[in-house]
Structure formats: C-alpha cells, structure tokens
Chains A and B, each alone.
Chain A
Amino acid sequence: MTKLTRRTTIKAAAASAIAAPMIIRPYAAYAQRAERLVYWHLPMFTPLADQAAQDLFDEYLELAGVKPEEAAFITVNNADLIPKLSAGLETGSPPDAARLYESYVQLYRAQGHMMDVTDMVEDMKAEEGGLFESSLRAVAKDGSYWGVPFAINPWPMHARNDILQQAGLAYPATWDEFIETCKTIQQPPFYGFGMDLGLTADATDNIMQLLWCYGGYTTDDDGNVAFDNPGNVEGFKVIDRMYNEHKIIPKGVVGNADTAWNNKAFQSGQVAFINNPTSVYAYLLDKDPEMAANTGLYSVPAGPAGSVNQIDTWSTGLFRQAPEPELVRGWVAYLMDPANYSKMLLQTNGRFVPVYPKQFDDEWWTSRPEYSEFRKIAETGVPVSYKGAPSAASGEVLATHIIPAAVQSMIIDGVAAEDAVAAAHVKIKDVYERLGDG
C-alpha cells in the first residue's frame, strides 16, 4: 500500500482541485428547474378540501397539456411557509404561486417579487356579484392588484350557547351587556372571556376588535399612524376594567406566549367566549360535534361606534420568477373560476368565506344558520391595520406585539390608559416610518 507522504498528499489535493469542477459542472446543468409549474398549497383544515384543490390542479394540467411530472403541487404547512419562502426568494427559487396571508402580498410586492395580476382580478370582479371589497384591501396598491384574493377569514365571537341558555341569557348586544353576562355565567376556573392579552398575534387582533367598537383605529384614512385617539383610550379603559375590576378574563393570560391558548381554553370548556378565526369551530365540527352544536358564531358586541368585526384575507401571490408566467396565471384563474372555487371551498366546512358574495346564495350557506352573520362580517369587516390597508408595517406591528405590550403596561403596571396608548403610538409610528411603502 502506498505510504501517505507530503508529496502524495499534495498530489491528491491537486487532483481533487482539478476534478471538483468536472464533478460539479454536470450537476449544474440540473440546476435549471425540472418543473414547469410549482404551486405551494396550504392545508385548508379538511382533507377533502385539500384533495379538491389537488384534483383541480390535476385537471388544469390536463387542460394545459402539462405532464404530471412537469408540475408540482406541494403542500406546505402554515408554520413552514415563510421560512421556506424567504429562502426560496433569496436563492431565486420561489414557487410560481403560493397562498399568502394578509400583509405578505404587500411585503413581497415592495420587494419586487409579485406579478401584477390586475387583469385577473378585474376578470373576477366582472363575475356575477363581483368580489367582496374587503378581499381586495390586502392586494391593491396604486390602482393595481398584486395578488389574487383567495378567501376571507372572519373573526367571529365564539359563544357557548348552552351556558347562555342555562342562565336564561341571550348573546349580548353591547360590550356593557357582555361584561354583565360574563360576570353572571362565570365560576372560576370557568371564566367569561378568553381574551388574548399575551404577547401573541391573536392578542393584537382581540384588542383591536374591541377598540374599533369604541371608535379606535391604528391609522387614519390616509394611512398615517393615528393610534393616539380617544376611541383607543376608551377601549383600553374597558379592557382594564374587564381584567382588573370585573375579572372576567383569566389572570394568567398576560404571561401567555402561546397564540393558541384561547383555542384550547374554549375547546376544553374553560371559557364561555373567545374571539377567533373559525379554525376552532372547524376543529369542533371534526373532533367534538357535541361542543360544536353548543357553540354560536356571532358578530362582536357593539360599542359606541357599533359592532366592528375583523376579517383577514388570504390571497394567492404569483411570483415574477415563474419560468412560464402564462401557465401559472392560467392555473390560478382556473382555481378561482367560481364553479371550481366553490367546489373546493365548500369542502372546508365553512372554515373560509368565499370572496364571491354570490356564493352565499348556495344552499350550503343558506341552510346553516350558524353562519348567518358571515356575509355581513365579510361585507363590513376591517383588517387589523384599520383604517389603513394591510402592509409590511402593519405586519411588523402585529409581529412585535406593540399593542398587547401597551395593554399589559396598563393592566399590570398601572400605567394610565392615555399614556399607554401614547407610548404605543410612538412605537407604531416608528415602524411605519421605517418600512414606508412596504
């Protein structure tokens, strides 16, 4: 056997240096993506809905003359979407289209990744009954559309109807009544309101829904930060009373960093009300039909400014890096064709509200009184960034928990509502100034 000497080592190193590019070069030829169409699908809560989306994809491939091996329908779970997408965009290999939540369309538009799909959205608007205006806020910018509205995600109040009935009470019409109802029915450790006040995404949503009812908002009509307003101050005071005076919110919620705690609290029967997307209800329908039958979905109680409900939206983003833009545009148009779309969306069992108002005429919706308020919520609902449209800045305000932190400073540290709101205003303004257009 040859001895390993300095000379042989150097020879081997030199040989490797020469051979390496020859080995890598053939691989480089494969770097050109094999698929003509790549779509990232996010799970839609029911396997039937996921299968329906996959079936539509397969149908489209056949219509477009694309072989199955030339396309990829990839299911990416919610938690993995953004890290995967960030890496894909950074390396120039994003999917051709993916379902994006709320502000991400604007974030990626500002970074130059989104395709202008104005013509596609105009075609959808031209369908009978058009589109819900609320579904367009997240995708519109300067008269153009940068994403295709996919579905509306309402945030109704989930209420335990059985508990209300036992107490001889109806669903409260105002926040004042809501507080009294909670005080009547709660028996700690069973609490009235599972309001999220931790440093979580849901907390901002829960807080803002209440503030809007008292006339509050984050930005004014022109998109300027205007968080320091009387409505927000009044709303903060109501939350303070709910937490410290009436004690209808469990004390432990402020230390919670788990955005799903309120889901679990409702699912396990520990609270009477939560304000959440209908993921909870979809879960109950599947795993706990008895509890689902005892659950009502309502608009939030009204304040002096009325009952202002939150919606957020999902949109399909088409990426400019797509090698065959017409192919991906064709796919998304096929998916959003009202007949195809309805077939898929109804399989979600009410989890998502259609972007086409006309589809509420479907017997599926009209025969289910539990969803009776959804159309109104979809028509009048506002995004968490209200009065402004969702943007990268509103996304960062949500992600950095500025608003829940301000509420915590009031309910735990005793900071005056006015000061807590003013402090949050400064921080939010800083974020909007920093992120600008995005």
Chain B
Amino acid sequence: MIKTIEGQDRLWRWIGNAVLVVLVAWTLLPFYWMFATSLKKHKEIYGMGTTLWPRDPTLESYRILFFETDYMLFFANSMKTAMSTTAVTVVVASLAAYAIARLDFPGRSLIARGMVYTYLVPQSLLFIPLFTILVAVGLDNSLTGLSIAYMGFTIPFCTWLLMGYFMSIPVELEEAALVDGCSRLGVLVRIILPISLPALAVIAFFSFTLAWNEYLYAVVFNSNPSVRTIPTGLNDFITEDVFFWGPIMGSTVLTVIPPLIVYFIFQRWLVTGLTMGAVKG
C-alpha cells in the first residue's frame, strides 16, 4: 500500500516535471529562435527548408546593427528613458503611497480611487491628448517628454500597488519610531522603505520594462533620430513589405538583455520576504 502511494507520488512528480519541461521549452524556444536567426545569413533565413542551428553562423546582423545603424544611440536613449522613469516613479510613488496609506487628509480616498481609474484608461486613447500637451509645452521630440508621459502610467499604478503593501505593514512599527522622536519622513525612509524592498523591486521592474518596451508613444512623440528609442528602431528593418530578419532578431536579442539584468538584480529582494517576523507577539 505504502509502495503504491509512493509510486503514485513519483508518477505525479514525473508528470509535473514533464509539464514544467514543456513550459520551459515553450518559453525559451522563441528566444532560441531569435538568437539562432540573428546568426544566419539572409539566404539561409529565406532558404527552402528550416534550420534549427545556422549552417554557416555569421555576426553580419550584429555588424549591421553596430556599424550601419544608430542602434547604440537608440539603446542609450532607451536606457536614459527607462532609468529616469524608474527612478522618479519609485520616489514619487513611495511618497504618494505613504501619504495616502497613512495620513488623514481630505480627498484621500478620492485620490486613491483616482489612481486606479487613471490606470484603467487605455494607453492608445491618450496618445493624442498627451501629444497635444507635450507639443504645447515644447517637450515633444525629447526624452524628458517621453519619460514624463510614461510616468503618467507608472506613478498611478505603482502608487496604488505600494499603498496596499504599506497598509499591510503594522502601524505599531511606525508608532514606536515616532515615539522615539523620528519624523514622518524618517519613518518612511528608515522603517517603511527598507521593509518594503520586495514591493519597491516590483514597481521598479514594472516601470523599467514599461519604459523600455513601449512603442506607440515613443514613435508618435519623438521623430528626431537623436531621441528615438529601440522599439521604434526595429521598424527600420522593415522596408515596405520586405523584412530584414537577421538585424531584426539581432537587435531583439540585445534588447532583452537589460530587462533581464534588471530582473536578476531585483530578484533577490523579490524572494526574500523582508517583512516576515518584523513584528513579534
């Protein structure tokens, strides 16, 4: 009987592992395909039949990217936009979320609800009004304008996300610090934020990836090549109805690296669960 139960457990584990293998393959194969295609020659990409690994690997697509296009400029622009959006979002959302979660002031609940409602408005509905504002204040064709537009999405959502997290932190921790003479801002910086690192990591990652990947605003708001970002540069490899797949895949391979790095940096905090055991009996 025991053997049968053990056997059943083993069977379920095997099934579970098999499902996981399928899911991992499902996730990784597109990345593999991207990478393999970026190493193929045009003729092989468009050749009869499909090759899993390049017959005659070449770095030609990457040469085109680095030496015949403005890829590095677009990369730097994307980095600046994503970093500034992330930094401002983390600071502003932390302050706003703390104020809404802990301070009592008129209109607090209205602002809290407003945060969610603004996030619910589809991005594609707002690009014309936002563009009108940016043109009016002379911030079109600039990375500053683009970052500010992204913050219109990241700050409300991240504030709303942090609010919930801050509310789950026992208020006794703050009261103890206040009794000891700490100011409100001191409480936020010294007590709340350190134990909220998992949530901060989440909002930082969210803000970075949104700003890094966003296409519509980047393409509409910025025309000048000096302020274009990577997602808008990918379309340069599609001329009319002809796709230059090698450079498209090469740039995509390089483009996924920064979000991966950001993810691995923040992953530590995402899994540590710093609030556990913060308050005893």
Contact = CB atoms under 8 A, between A and B. Distances in A.
Contacts of B232: 80
Contact of A78 (B135, B183, B239): B239
A344 B127 CA distance: 36
A72 B223 CA distance: 10
Given A75-B225, A78-B240, A3 B184 contact: yes
A80 B103 contact: no
B91 interface: no
A4 B104 contact: no
A435 interface: no
A283 B45 CA distance: 13
Interface string A321-347: 000000000000000000000000000
Contact of B137 (A27, A78, A260, A279): A27
Given A80-B235, A84-B223, A87-B220, A267 B137 contact: no
B99 A4 contact: yes
Interface string A169-206: 00000000000000000000000000000000010000
Q: Contact size class for B?
A: 35 or more
A277 B138 contact: no
A241 interface: no
A269 B219 CA distance: 35
B42 A1 contact: no
Given A260-B243, A268-B46, A268-B48, A79 B238 contact: yes
A43 to B, nearest CB: 5
B132 interface: yes
Given A270-B48, A288-B46, A87 B185 contact: no
B185 A1 contact: yes
A263 B103 CA distance: 62
A338 to B, nearest CB: 25
A92 B133 CA distance: 12
B223 A76 contact: yes
Contacts of A268: 46-48
B184 A28 contact: no
A77 B183 contact: no
Contact of A279 (B43, B46, B242): B242
B241 interface: yes
Nearest to B45: A268
Contact of A91 (B68, B132, B235, B243): B132
Interface in A280-296: 280, 282-283, 287-288
Contacts of A282: 242
A287 B239 contact: no
Nearest to B134: A91
Among B137, B216, B239, residue most surrounded by chain A Cβ atoms (within 10 Å): B239
B104 A288 contact: no
A79 B233 CA distance: 11
A48 to B, nearest CB: 13
Contacts of B132: 90-91
B105 interface: yes
Interface in B123-140: 127-128, 131-132, 135-140
Contacts of A10: 105
A92 B236 CA distance: 26
Nearest to B188: A4
A434 interface: no
Interface in B27-46: 42-43, 46
Contacts, number: 108
B224 interface: yes
A84 B223 CA distance: 8
A305 B261 CA distance: 63
Nearest to A79: B235
A74 interface: yes
B57 interface: no
A80 B184 CA distance: 48
Contact of A74 (B127, B220, B224): B224
Interface string A194-221: 0000000010000000000000000000
A279 B238 CA distance: 11
A295 B29 CA distance: 35
B17 to A, nearest CB: 35
A268 B105 CA distance: 67
Residue in B131, B135, B223 with the greatest tally of chain A CB atoms within 10 Å: B223
Nearest to B98: A4
A279 B48 contact: no
Contacts of A259: 241
Given A1-B185, A87-B127, A93 B135 contact: yes
A289 to B, nearest CB: 10
B42 A288 contact: yes
A1 B186 contact: yes
Contacts of B42: 287-288
A366 interface: no
Interface in A20-39: 24, 27-31
Interface string B210-236: 000000100110011100000010011
18 contacts: A2-B183, A4-B184, A6-B104, A31-B135, A31-B136, A31-B137, A77-B239, A78-B238, A80-B235, A84-B219, A84-B223, A87-B131, A90-B128, A91-B132, A268-B48, A269-B47, A277-B241, A280-B242
Closest 10 CB pairs of A and B: A30-B138, A1-B183, A27-B137, A287-B42, A268-B46, A267-B46, A260-B241, A87-B220, A279-B240, A4-B184
Interface of B: 42-43, 46-48, 68, 99, 103-106, 127-128, 131-132, 135-140, 183-186, 216, 219-220, 223-225, 232, 235-236, 238-243
Given A27-B138, A93-B140, 7 more contacts: A30-B138, A40-B223, A47-B68, A75-B225, A87-B127, A90-B131, A92-B135
